[in-house]
Amino acid sequence: MLGGMDVSYYHGNPATALHGDICSPVATNPTWNDLDSNARATLEQDGGPLWHDLVKVLQPHIVTLSVARRHLRRIKFSPITDQADLHVFESTTERHLLMFSKVLVANRGEIAVRINQTLRALGIAPVAVHSDADAGAPHVTTAEQAVALPGNTAEETYLNIGTMVQAARDCGADAVHPGYGFLSENPQFARACREAQLTFIGPTAESMADLGDKLRSKEIARRAGVPVVPSSPVPPRAAVAAGCAWSNGRRELDADMEAAGREAQAAFGDGRVFLERYVANPRHVEVQVLADGAGHTIHLGERECSIQRRHQKIIEETPSPALTPDLRQRMGDAAIAVAREAGYVNAGTVEFLLAPRSGEFYFLEMNARLQVEHPVTEAVLGLDMVQWQVRIASGEPLTLQQEDIQPRGHAIECRIYAEDPYRDFVPSTGTLLRWRPPSGPGLRLDSGVVQGQEVSIYYDPMLAKLIAWAPDRELSRRRMDVALSQFLVLGVVTNIPLLRSVLGHPQFQRGQYDTGFLEWNPAVTRPAMTDESRMMARALGAWAAGQPVGSLAPVVGSDGPPNVSPWRSAGERRLP
């Protein structure tokens, strides 16, 4: 069983390939090879498909009707025209049989590893793509086949639509999973996949384009009856693409708009800006939705995402400590309404700004992709989001009903970044000399790195996501804090100390925080010196200065200015 779904139906591995081969021929199931040969001979002799005989041949080894059709197209069978025979063919294939034999994962890092795992569990061959810098990365070693994308920069590799589509076609992939980031919300990429007869595991290019435009997406929300932030002459925001680009409201409005326009043009190729009323001290709450091609849409509960740095989330949890049962239902209903109005299919997330005092919430945007923080939803619901993405993309109906969604317990996710939180979050690069993640009950690690790997300058510095589940929030918080204390990383600087500071802060413990948490609590982003670390620093500093270490007495607290490291007053001495 996987995510509540029995995967024992799958009849063998449909495609295998030696790892590391670049677009090497796939050693497919011999039955399929035989079928292709026999069917080709049938075409030459009889000039058309013998449907009932074909059904008998395919039945023991069929993956889905769509795969069969693809094989028929490949050997130039005529289109299906006999509806009676089509009904016979379809009736012999059960629901829950996956349509894909091979999926290209158009991403890297932890999300590509995570997608590979689900694809393998479903009997689908994952195909990795990699830049020169990522040639030996875990997302490559966990795939069955790998395609090299020459170059290192994102523009050369993971953002190159033409190269990505060609890689999928050359390796015989049936579908493409974009993950998150990179091309995941690019409607041109989704359209290019469709034109190449590749299934894009996600929404349509049209709904993606509508939701990616801030102005159009707000109009969709209005039509759905969902509140949006009223317009007002306040700091501008870029009109397109995911994420926030708020400017400083204390500057002149004209200068703000000009700067925001330049930023939007440079980042998204669209210099439009619009004005929104400022929502003071909001919480960032999002609702996960699933929708199939028949219009059946449900929500999977909310995620609290208010702990952010530079408008990017670093800690997420579910359920949100800010929501009442009534507010939770209203936000869930609103998310479904937006998805339906947009004609959305597959997994998506509707994001809201929540004014804690009034309880009012406003539509922010809809992310047309799998979210980074989806594991916390999986943890409390016991389902596999990627599996549902694949099943929906294959044409399966969404069998889950809203009443089936019954969260259990509490889950917290921390994003582990290679960055220095005490130096304005500057990325940290280098070799991972030691990488020893924690383990234990209720813990899950989604990682994209291994010990000895080089953390490069080319990509996002996120190394992994640590998820802690427990029956209640406080136990989940404590479990996460202990796990972070056991997380050993050497070679690069990480944000683990910052994450622990947030988890231990009284406001977080009470669940009373908003998106300005780090701004209102600057001490959290300053390094803290414990008594033990102070004593060690004093001892090593004394040794470095040539002073007797044994004469140092234990100290409690600081004998100097707050947050000043004893290393700075130790003098200089060349180490042997």
- Name the residue ranges covered by the structural domains of the chain: 1-201, 204-228+281-408, 230-278, 410-522, 531-569
Mean pLDDT over all residues of the chain?
80
Is residue 569 classed as helix, strand or coil in its secondary structure?
Answer: helix
Residue 398 predicted with pLDDT over 50: yes
204-228+281-408 matches 410-522 in fold: yes
The model's confidence at residue 301, banded by pLDDT at 50, 70 and 90, is: very high
Could you tell me which CATH number the domain at 1-201 has? 3.40.50.20
Check pLDDT > 70 for residue 535.
no
Percent of the chain whose predicted confidence (pLDDT) is above 90: 63
Is the pLDDT assigned to residue 31 strictly greater than 60? Answer: no
The pLDDT of residue 478: 99
Question: Which of 158, 155, 122, 168 shows the shortest CA–CA distance to 26?
Answer: 168
Can you tell me the mean pLDDT for 77-91? 42
CA dihedral 485, 488, 493, 497 (to 10 degrees): 0
Catalytic residue list: 369
Least confident of 32-36, 216-220, 360-364: 32-36
| Helix (H/G/I), strand (E/B), else coil: 175 | strand
Residue-wise pLDDT for 434-472, tens only, equals: 999 999 999 999 999 999 999 999 999 999 999 999 999
Q: Is the predicted pLDDT of residue 180 greater than 90, yes or no?
A: yes
pLDDT of residue 236: 53
Classify 410-522 by CATH class.
alpha beta
What class has domain 204-228+281-408? Answer: alpha beta
**pLDDT at res. 41:** 52
Over residues 381-399, the mean pLDDT reads 97
Q: Which residue has the higher pLDDT, 272 or 104?
A: 104
Average the pLDDT over 129-149 and give the result.
97
Q: Which of 56-60, 390-394, 548-552 has the lowest mean pLDDT?
A: 56-60
Q: Kindly state the average pLDDT of the residues 504-517.
A: 97
Residue 5 has pLDDT above 80, yes or no: no
In the prediction, which pLDDT does 200 show?
A: 98
Is residue 231 within 8 A of residue 276, CB to CB? The reply is: yes
C-alpha span between 211 and 340 (Å, rounded): 12
- pLDDT at residue 93 in the model: 40
**What is the average pLDDT across 406-432?**
97
The mean pLDDT value for 22-28 works out to 30
Per the structure block, which two tokens stand in for 32?
């399929």
- In this structure, the strands spanning 426-427 and 454-455 are unpaired
pLDDT at 251: 52
> Residue length, the chain?
576
Which token pair is 104? 């290209």
Which pLDDT value is given to residue 239? 57
Residue 47 has pLDDT above 70, yes or no: no
Other beta carbons within 10 Å of 215: 10
DSSP notation for 298-351: EEEEEEEEEEEETTEEEEEEES-TT--HHHHHHHHHHHHHHHHHTT--EEEEEE
Nearest to 479 by CA among 409, 528, 420: 409
